[in-house]
Amino acid sequence: MSITLTQPLDMHLHLRDNEMLQTVAPLSADSFAGAIIMPNLVPPVTTQEALIAYKERIQEAIGETTFTPYMTLFFKPTYTKAFLASLGSDLAAIKLYPAGITTNSEGGLSGFDVEELRPTLTAMSELGIPLCIHGETNGFVMDREAEFVSIYEMLATNFPELTIIMEHITTKASVEALERFPNLYATITLHHLLITLDDVAGGMLQPHLFCKPIAKRPEDREALRKVALSGHPKVMFGSDSAPHPQHAKESCGCAAGVFTAPIALQVLTELFVEHSTVENLQAFVSGNAQTIYKHLTVPQKSITLEQKPFVVPEIYGSVVPMYAGKTLAYSIV
Task: Name the residues that contact a second copy, by CB under 8 A.
Answer: 140-142, 196-198, 200-202, 204-208, 210, 214, 217-218, 249-256
Q: Which of 17, 30, 90, 240 is catalytic?
A: 240
Classified as helix, coil or strand, 332 is strand
Q: Which is nearer to a second copy, 172 or 208 (CB)?
A: 208
Nearest distance from C-beta of residue 196 to a second copy, angstroms: 7
Identify whether 240 is a catalytic site residue. Answer: yes
Strand order in the sheet with 2-6: 2-6, 302-311, 327-332
How long is the chain?
333
With residue 249 as reference, give the H or E element that holds it. helix 246-249
Q: Which is nearer to a second copy, 171 or 286 (CB)?
A: 171
DSSP 207: G
Nearest distance from C-beta of residue 103 to a second copy, angstroms: 10
Which whole-number Å values give the CA distances from 151 to 145, 177, 271, in the listed order?
A: 10, 11, 32
Question: What's the sign of the alpha-carbon dihedral 316, 318, 321, 325?
Answer: positive
User: What does the alpha-carbon distance between residue 247 and residue 279 come to, in Å, rounded to a whole number?
Assistant: 40
Strand partners, 4: 304
Nearest distance from C-beta of residue 100 to a second copy, angstroms: 9
With residue 120 as reference, give the H or E element that holds it. helix 114-127
Nearest distance from C-beta of residue 315 to a second copy, angstroms: 12
Q: Which is nearer to a second copy, 92 or 255 (CB)?
A: 255
Q: Which is nearer to a second copy, 142 or 278 (CB)?
A: 142
Residues involved in catalysis: 240
